[in-house]
Amino acid sequence: MDHNANVSYMMASSTQAVPAAGKMDAGSRETLPGLLSRVPKGAWVPLGIVSLLLVALYLRVGIKLVVDWYNIADYSHGFLVPLFSLFLLWDKRREIAATPVKGSWAGLPLVVLGLVILIFGIYGVDLFTSRFSFVVLISGLVWTFFGGAMLKELRFPILVLLLAIPFPAIIFNQITFPLQLMASQVASSILPLLGVPTLQEGNVIQLPVMKLEVAEACSGIRSLMSLFTLAIFYGYFLEKTTARRTLLAIAAIPIAVTANVFRIVGTGLCVQYWDPNKAQGFFHEFSGWVMFLVSLGCLYLVHKVIGLFSPAPKEAV
């Protein structure tokens, strides 16, 4: 399949050079309508059919995903991810419009792979697999209808959708339980330094007043996932290179883990020196928001430190 379109770019003069793929001159005014005008008329029918099929295939999967975003606090940030992906498409509209449209059968194996993954997810009753198949299938369809160059240009807006997909339970448990144990160990080591004797047994910290259990919800996975996602958003807007954005995203992990440890320590201090009921009630919930704001502040400081040791280039990479 070859979707070459012989529609020329709008030019200031008939002799002006056509911008290279992925690049746009500062004075260029072409946007997404320019891209749409270069799609061959014969391709709109299969595109429409494929769009309807996608809705039919993923309607129930998408509804269940939105319900999970609402019900599972660890993934409440999922509501922001599709909006961010759409913003990326709008922000890259000039680059997208400048990318040549050339369909290729090379993307068909990726389409087939996405459908196979979807079938395994549906019949294997695995939500993660069926949701992940959407990202694979969309990548294959972009490659097939618009070409490899377009897929390369859209890879980040597509891949960022993975942040909205909850981990499968087996992986989630493999992450949360070690985080629970680590947070318990570190907090039980810090509290004696502050005058609070402790005895740790797994994820339970025995205080003189009562037992403090570091439950799954207190493992820090919620703040970790949210902060990691926000770090990617933050890096895209304020950093100019992939390396600096990656470093900022990685820095979100130890920041979130450390903030959660201090939250547990604060709860232990309140249990010992204030009111156990209030410590596990109001303070526990309120401190979660406070520590998340502190984590955002730490992320900002990391950004500034990166800028001191590695000045950003003048142009985006």
Instruction: Please write the tens of the pLDDT for every residue from 148-195.
Output: 999 999 999 999 999 999 888 777 777 777 887 888 888 888 888 888
Same domain, 146 and 221: no
Given a contact cutoff of 8 angstroms between Cβ atoms, the answer to whether 268 and 196 are in contact is yes
pLDDT in the model for residue 310: 65
Same domain, 175 and 96: no
Given a contact cutoff of 8 angstroms between Cβ atoms, the answer to whether 106 and 143 are in contact is yes
Cα–Cα nearest to 111, from 32, 170, 53: 53
- pLDDT above 80 for 2: no
pLDDT in the model for residue 13: 34
Q: Report the alpha-carbon angle 5-6-7, nearest 5.
A: 95
Mean predicted confidence (pLDDT) in 223-234 = 85
- Residue 285 pLDDT class (50, 70, 90 cuts): low
**Domains identified in the chain, total number:** 2
Residue predicted with more confidence, 234 or 3: 234
Average pLDDT, the chain: 77
* Residues comprising the chain, all counted: 317
Which residues, including other chains, have CB under 8 Å from residue 139's CB and lie 6 or more apart? Answer: 107, 110, 114, 151, 155, 158
- Residue 40 pLDDT class (50, 70, 90 cuts): low
**pTM exceeding 0.75:** no
pLDDT in the model for residue 260: 81
pLDDT in the model for residue 216: 60
Same domain, 225 and 147: no
For residue 19, being part of any structural domain is answered with: no
pLDDT in the model for residue 161: 93
**Half-sphere exposure of residue 183: CA atoms within 13 angstroms, side-chain side:** 34
- Residue 24 pLDDT class (50, 70, 90 cuts): very low
- pLDDT above 50 for 21: no
Cα–Cα nearest to 165, from 65, 61, 302: 65
For residue 271, being part of any structural domain is answered with: yes
Percent of the chain's residues with pLDDT above 70: 76
- Residue 4 pLDDT class (50, 70, 90 cuts): very low
pLDDT in the model for residue 138: 95
Q: Which two tokens stand for residue 168?
A: 């499968």
Same domain, 176 and 288: yes
Number of continuous H segments (helices) and E segments (strands) in the chain: 12, 3
Identify the burial level of 55 via C-beta atoms within 10 angstroms of its C-beta, where 0-12 means exposed, 13-18 middle and 19 or more buried.
Answer: exposed
For residue 138, being part of any structural domain is answered with: yes
Given a contact cutoff of 8 angstroms between Cβ atoms, the answer to whether 262 and 254 are in contact is no
Cα–Cα nearest to 33, from 4, 2, 10: 10
Given a contact cutoff of 8 angstroms between Cβ atoms, the answer to whether 191 and 268 are in contact is yes
Residue predicted with more confidence, 15 or 79: 79
pLDDT in the model for residue 252: 87
Residue predicted with more confidence, 105 or 46: 105
pLDDT in the model for residue 158: 94
Q: Which two tokens stand for residue 296?
A: 């955002």
CB neighbours (10 Å) of residue 149? 16
pLDDT in tens, 290-299: 777 888 888 8
pLDDT in the model for residue 315: 47
Distance CA 130, CA 124 (A): 9
pLDDT in the model for residue 314: 53
Same domain, 92 and 189: no
> Which domain-ending residue is among 112, 145, 164?
164
Q: What's the distance, CA 178 to chain centroid?
A: 22
For residue 293, being part of any structural domain is answered with: yes
Same domain, 155 and 174: no
pLDDT in the model for residue 43: 64
The sign of the CA dihedral 289, 290, 293, 298 is: negative
Same domain, 110 and 74: yes
Q: Which domain range does residue 41 map to? A: 32-164
What phi and psi, each to the nearest 5 degrees, are found at residue 176? -70, -40
Mean pLDDT lowest among 59-63, 70-74, 235-239: 70-74
Same domain, 248 and 122: no
Q: What's the distance, CA 303 to chain centroid?
A: 19
Same domain, 219 and 147: no
pLDDT in the model for residue 227: 85
Q: Greatest CA separation found in the chain?
A: 83
pLDDT in the model for residue 44: 67
Identify the burial level of 253 via C-beta atoms within 10 angstroms of its C-beta, where 0-12 means exposed, 13-18 middle and 19 or more buried.
Answer: middle
Distance CA 29, CA 34 (A): 9
For residue 72, being part of any structural domain is answered with: yes
pLDDT in tens, 103-134: 888 889 999 999 999 999 888 877 889 999 99
Same domain, 154 and 206: no
Query: Which residues partner with 211 through β-bridges?
Result: 206
> Which domain-ending residue is among 106, 131, 164?
164
Mean predicted confidence (pLDDT) in 37-55 = 74
Q: Report the alpha-carbon angle 204-263-187, nearest 5.
A: 45
AA letter at 309: F
